[in-house]
Amino acid sequence: MASVPSVCKKVGPVEEENGEPDHSLQEMLKAIADERNRLTIRQEISGLGCFKDDRIVFWTWMFSTYFMEKLSPREQDDMLFYVRRKLSYVSPDQSEGKKVDVEVYRRDSKRLPGLGEPDIDWEESVYLNLILMKLDYVVTCAVCTRSDAGDIHIHRKKSQQVYASPSKHAMDSKGEESKMSYPNIFFMIDNFEEVFCDMTVGEGEMVCVELVASDKSNTFQGVVFQGSIRYEALKKVYDNRVSVAAKMAQRMSFGFYKYNNMEFVRMKGPQGKGHAEMAVSRVPTGDTSPCGTEEDLDSPLHERHGHPGSGP
């Protein structure tokens, strides 16, 4: 059994007497980096990996110290998330397949899995709780144009705090039960219709979405997701979707169906990693037109941002 790296012994209290902010996140990241360096050095010297028990000691210590004990910030969520991997099958070549579940417990629950329980992936559980509890997230949606020189000009934007979740539900069915999405993490905006109600995009413009993560004291920030889509591409996808959906709805309901012109379009991130799902509808051309009447096909699109999510 290996001992916990020496850096772990240097961890101080969550909040200093003089009111200094919580530094537990920085301490966690440093401990993880040191552990990875230790494993790399060990492999280079001996050519051996790390024993399973060796890794369990470190990751259970991290989980217990930063999420269960005194180094857990007082404002931290009362929930604990455990990634459990259960054996689901053994293939003919004897390789094992494991089903992954995320279990959620209250911190004071008597049913908490025991530290070191072999079915729990303690490393993944540390990462998941770190993502869900130690960071704040803000999504910004902006309507921009790009100059001939390549400069981006922001014409209007709106930001909204969001929360990471290992589960998701469809944007067009808010009342439905959420489904587990782990290992993909989603950042839902259930009230997107109110938050982004005045965001419109027109010809020559593009929609840009950015998701930024920061520590609780806002000491450092990092961009989690960035994506953009031009009006022309957005309009093409929207028009195709509306045309097909309206025809199908009319055919299935004998003309009595009132079609909702909101469509949901996905914006992919760099190298196809992650996506933002946007709710898009057309802006009515006149305030005297009754709901459901034909609208100007060249009118600008009304973009209502939904939820960026992590990709595979």
End-to-end CA distance of the chain: 34
CA 43 – CA 40 distance, rounded (Å): 5
Cβ partners under 8 Å of residue 169, min gap 6 = 176, 177, 178, 179, 188
pLDDT of residue 218: 85
Mean pLDDT of 201-221: 91
Return the closest-CA partner of residue 210 out of 164, 166, 165, 160: 160
Which secondary structure element, helix H or strand E, spans residue 162, and what is its range?
Answer: strand 152-162
Query: What is the arithmetic mean of pLDDT over 11-29?
Result: 58
pLDDT exceeds 90 at position 142: yes
On the question of pLDDT at 224 being above 80, the answer is yes
* Higher pLDDT among residues 296 and 60, named by residue: 60
Over 50: is that where the pLDDT of 68 sits? yes
Tokens encoding 276: 């933002």
In percent, the amount of the chain with pLDDT more than 70 equals 68
User: Averaged over 274-285, what is the pLDDT?
Assistant: 80
Residue 250's CB: how many other CB atoms inside 10 A?
13
Higher-pLDDT residue of 88 and 263 is 263
Does residue 132 surpass a pLDDT of 80? yes
What local confidence, expressed as pLDDT, does residue 54 receive?
67
Q: What average pLDDT does the structure give for the chain? A: 76
Which of 17-21, 34-38, 80-84 has the highest mean predicted lDDT (pLDDT)? 80-84
**Mean pLDDT, range 72-89, rounded to an integer:** 76
pLDDT range class, residue 50, cuts 50, 70, 90: low
pLDDT reported for residue 153: 93
pLDDT at position 284 is 66
Average pLDDT, integer, range 11-30:
60
Any alpha helices (H) in 64-158, and if so which ranges?
A: 122-133
Residue 145 has pLDDT above 70, yes or no: yes
Can you tell me the mean pLDDT for 78-107? 80
Nearest to 276, CA basis, from 284, 267, 264: 267
| SS3 (DSSP) at 44 | helix
- pLDDT score of 200: 87
Parse the chain into domains and list their residue ranges: 6-133, 136-309
